[in-house]
Structure formats: C-alpha cells, structure tokens
Chains A and B, each alone.
Chain A
Amino acid sequence: MKNDKITYGLFEDESADPEVRAAMQKDVKIPEELLEKREEAFRKIRDGQKRHHRPGYSLYARIAGLAACACAAVIAFSGASYAVGADNLFSRSFARIVEATGGNKDYNQRKIETIAENAEEITAGSSSETSGIVSSSESGKIPADAQTANRQTSADAKNISLQAKEYYCDGKILAVTMEIEDKDGVLSGYDYVHAAMGEDSSRNPSLTINGQELGVPGDFYFQKDADGNFVTLKEINLRYHEVWDGCSFPDGSSLDVSISIPELEAGMAGPLEEGNELQSRKILGDWAVSFSGTCRADGNHVIAENQASGDVMLNTVTRTPASVWVDLTVPQNCGGIDLENCGYAVNLVLEDGTIVQPEDGMSLNKNEEGISSPFGEQAWRFVNPSGEHFAVLVRAKDEQLTKLAEYHL
C-alpha cells in the first residue's frame, strides 16, 4: 500500500499512474547471460563454495539497522543511582551501535567519552544552571508528583510498565531516559526491546511536544540492564522539528512531552536458531507517558558567526553543554560542483581528519523550493572538537572528497 501517493501533492496527476505502473510491472524476458550467471551463482551455493556468515555477525547487523536513528550523540545524565548504572550501559550499547556503523570509530568513541566527562562534572557538583545539563535532583528528574499535574510518567499494559525517568533539553535537543519493567517476567529471556517505525503507522511510536505531534520520532531501542529491566536514552532533535514543524524552544520555555508506544517487540541478540521460539515476540499495548519540563538554553554560546570561506557561508557555531552545532549556507554550485546531481553529501572534517557525517535528522537543508538537498541551509553537530579548525567537504557517490571551505574559529 503506497500511502505516499495519497499524501503528497507531487502526485496530483494520478491519471497517468495506472498506465505507468502497468507498463513498469510488465514482465520482461530475462536475458540468457543473466540466467547463466544466476545458475553459476546457484551452483556455487549448492557446492558449498559460498557459506553464510558466521552468526557472530548478526548482532551488529541487527543493531546496524538502528544506527541511522540511534547513532546520534549520547547525553549522559547525572544524579541518581539509576543514572550511574545507566551511563555504563548506554556507553556499552551505543559503542556497539557505533561499531556497527563502521568507520569513524575513534570519533564516535570520543563522543561517548565526552558525555561521560560531562556526567562526571555534574556529579561532582557543577551547577546545572550553567552547564545546561539538568541533573536528576533538579528539574531533569521527572518528579514523582508529576502525576498530580495531569502528567502520566508511567504507563502499564499487559503487566509491563513503561516509565519516563529523566530528561535533558538545551533547546536543540531533547533527550529522555525511559525504563521498561516486566512484572510477569515474559521478557526475561530477551536481550532487548524495540519499538520500531514500521509499515503500519497506527502501531508506530509517536511524540507530541507542547500539543504538537511531531513527525517521525524514530525507533526506541531498550537495552537490558543488570536488574533485568530495559532502559533507553531517546534523543529527539528539536532543531529538526524547529525547521520542519515550525516549533520553537527558547530558553526557559515550558515543555509538555507525550510519548506513546503502541507495540513492543522483544528480541534476542544472538543468531537465529532452529526451533528457538524465543527469537522474538511482539506485545501490543498502549504505553503512553507524558511529563512537563523546562528548556534550558542558557548554557549555549555562539562562538563564531558570519564567516565566509570559498563559496560557503558559516552562519553560526554554537557550543551547547552536549555538543557543537555548525550552521552553514552552501550554494548549489559550490567549488565547481553542482550539488543537485545525485550522490553528493556535504560533510565536515575536524582537525584530526575525522569526517563528521550527518546524524539523525541533522541535515536541515532546504533549497529555494523548500526541498531538501545537499545545498542550502545546513546544520551540523559534533562533540568535543579536536581543535579550533574544521573544513567543509563534499563527498561524491564514489567517495571522492573535495574541500569547499575551511574555518579557524
């Protein structure tokens, strides 16, 4: 079912669609050379010349599917013993995700370390007011009395409870920690619980902030902790929603956050095994949690602005407690390259050679027609820059890199 066609204005002319569809779906004669090569491949498989990859690969392969949504930087939380335990857990689980993405491992590891450093500072007594990290003893801890303010910080269904625990918001990102407790032990044999975006939109997780349902919130991936519960740190890119959904998150503004998860799927991290009935299990329910909070952007500082280099305009560089944001305007024809052509991506490269690729929804570019493309306004995010110098690169489909601009902050 292609709901896309109903939803999008670009498909207004439906009259041609059945004709085109029928023509495109008509079977073609498979050429002999292809049939021969297919048979050759089949023979290699039958003869055992090709084998399945060893099961050990499967965990990373499974996590890799999550990476696009989940590899955004990790925010550490301070305070309660829960958070202390969770820091290590998140570091491990995100390290696995990072590893599954391949490449840039050192950089991603450094991102995790940066978060850990932040968390320690907060634990040591730094003020949450100046750091922007909201500790669990202050407003970052979703208060137990939230229920009295018409906020449902925990939800139960099928004897499985979902609880929102802590949040962090600096105006550019919102991160929430959540925990699943399984009272009947039906999840005890599983390694993770996943609330994924799927074909059936009625079963997808949803996110509402200040009464506005925001676009795709992405997957929620809960990792098992030492107590047998499942925990996650979900990061929401507010900058993305600012651009695409017209939301605004100024310092001191209130946040009313609602998260709904209608379906959970529990799974095992190991390889698929014949006859193992525990491989995965879907549980339908209605886990809806909500909480109120405050956006704290007073820890954000603009450290550079309005610098041109080559064809690229650096609008601002903003340091938040969690990361560094770079806002650029990249023209369509840049450095002699027409970025409209398929396969180009704009990346940043840090002083140590690390290439920073777009993270979850971080490429906020719109061209004059309001269509996303590798040019136009762009927002980038990275953590713990290795120096005060970075370059803007364009990466072609063949992986060739061309430097467009260079900045010294």
Chain B
Amino acid sequence: MEHLVKRAMKGDTDAFLELMTQNTQILYKTAWSVLRNNEDAADAVSETILTCFEKINTLRKPGAFRTWMIRILLNHCYNILRDQAHFDRSGEVPDFPGSMWEAEPDSFQELLQDVEEKYSTILTLYYADELTVCEIAELTGLNQNTVKTRLKRGREMVRRSLIHEE
C-alpha cells in the first residue's frame, strides 16, 4: 500500500482512488462501529475520502497513512453524532441505533450489535484496523490503560457472542 500512498502524496489521483478503494472495508467497519447505521457510515466515509484527498499532501510519512485516515474518519463520525445530538434536543425523533441495517448471520455487525459503542470502536480499531494500543489512545484521546481495559471488556463481550452463536 505504501507505494500507492507515495504516489497519491505526489498528486497521482488514480493512485489515491485505488488507495481509498482498498481501504473501503476498514473505513466502513470503523464508521459503522461508531455510528451503527449504514447511511451515516456512508456519509462519514465519503467525507473522509474528500478530506483525505484535500490534505494528503500534508501527510509527513507514508507509513502513517492508515492512522491518519482513521483519525479523519473518526472526526467525521463524531461530527455526525454531535449533529444528531443537536437534532435530538430540538425535538426530532432520533433514529434508533441498529434500525437501519439488517445484520447477516455471523457478520461483523451481528458480532458487535450488543457491544456498546465505546467498546466496539476500540475493538474495531484494534482488530479490524490493526492499530496498536498506543495509536488508538492517540486517536481517541483516551489513555492507554483505558484502551486496554475497554479492549479486554469488549473482547469478552464478543467472545460471549461467539459462544452464543455456536
């Protein structure tokens, strides 16, 4: 992936688009773990693609691309949540989390459907996005021990879910 990042950093649009295509799984899973519905996840991912394109020439190290991209994605996700909280207060009926998707059996979503957002996001960043505890702590503003605690608890929840499926 690094050669694509380097090309994209130098302004190669095709390389950038290929890069984002390759990262769609990561982007979707991460956005879904925070937002819990496909429509918002789609908005967050598309905004992330545009922001990454605008700013990729400010990226300092190609190796840091994935963390950088996820940071941008999380910011967009949190913006969406903040906007929704604003609408909630103004009297609109909020979408019930999880109501806008139908989980396939044994899917990523089904695995996380009973896991609170604060755990599912950390789990996704760690297992699906393959970030380190240190990177997750930096991205989320949590300290490393909190990340580790949430990973442990989240993993126990997922494990219970896996046993239940069996």
Residues of A that sit less than 8 Å from B by CB: 2-4, 8, 10-11, 16-17, 19-21, 23-31, 33-34, 36-38, 40-42, 44-46, 50-53, 55, 57-58, 61-62, 65, 68, 199, 267, 271-272, 274, 342-343, 345, 370-373, 397-398
Contact = CB atoms under 8 A, between A and B. Distances in A.
Given A34-B28, A38-B20, A274-B11, 8 more contacts: A11-B152, A16-B156, A23-B108, A37-B42, A38-B21, A38-B42, A44-B50, A398-B85
A193 to B, nearest CB: 14
B41 A34 contact: yes
A318 B164 CA distance: 56
Nearest first, the 5 closest Cβ-Cβ pairs linking A and B are A61-B58, A24-B127, A372-B143, A37-B46, A34-B42
- Which of the listed residues B41, B132, B155, B156 has the most CB atoms from chain A within 10 Å of its own CB? B155
22 contacts: A11-B152, A19-B162, A20-B127, A23-B106, A28-B109, A30-B28, A34-B38, A37-B43, A40-B46, A42-B20, A52-B11, A52-B57, A53-B58, A58-B57, A61-B58, A65-B60, A68-B138, A345-B141, A371-B143, A371-B149, A397-B78, A397-B82
Contact of A33 (B39, B55, B58, B134): B39
Given A8-B133, A53-B54, A61-B60, A24 B123 contact: yes
A31 to B, nearest CB: 4
B53 interface: yes
Contacts of B142: 342
Nearest to A62: B60
Given A31-B38, A58-B57, A372-B146, A272 B159 contact: no
Interface of B: 9-11, 13, 16-17, 20-21, 24-25, 28-29, 38-39, 41-43, 45-47, 49-50, 53-60, 63, 78, 82, 85, 101, 104, 106-109, 111, 118, 123-124, 126-128, 130, 132-134, 138, 140-146, 148-149, 151-152, 155-156, 158-159, 162
A27 B58 contact: no
Contact of A24 (B11, B111, B138): B111
B115 to A, nearest CB: 11
Most B C-beta atoms less than 10 A away, residue of A45, A50, A343, A345: A45
A29 B103 CA distance: 10
B82 A398 contact: yes
Contact of B53 (A26, A34, A50, A267): A50
A28 B56 contact: no
Contacts of A373: 143, 146
B38 A33 contact: yes
Contact of A10 (B10, B124, B148): B148
A370 B47 CA distance: 39
B155 A17 contact: yes
Contact of B57 (A2, A37, A55): A55
Contacts of A19: 159, 162
Contacts of A41: 46-47, 49-50
A371 B143 CA distance: 9
B136 to A, nearest CB: 9
Contacts of B146: 371-373
A267 B59 CA distance: 13
A227 to B, nearest CB: 26
Q: Among B24, B106, B109, B143, find the residue whose CB has the most chain A CB atoms closer than 10 A.
A: B143
Contacts of A2: 126, 130, 132-133
Contacts of A58: 57-58
B148 A20 contact: no
A52 B53 contact: yes
Nearest to B118: A342
A45 B13 contact: yes
Given A17-B155, A55-B57, A61-B55, A26 B17 contact: no
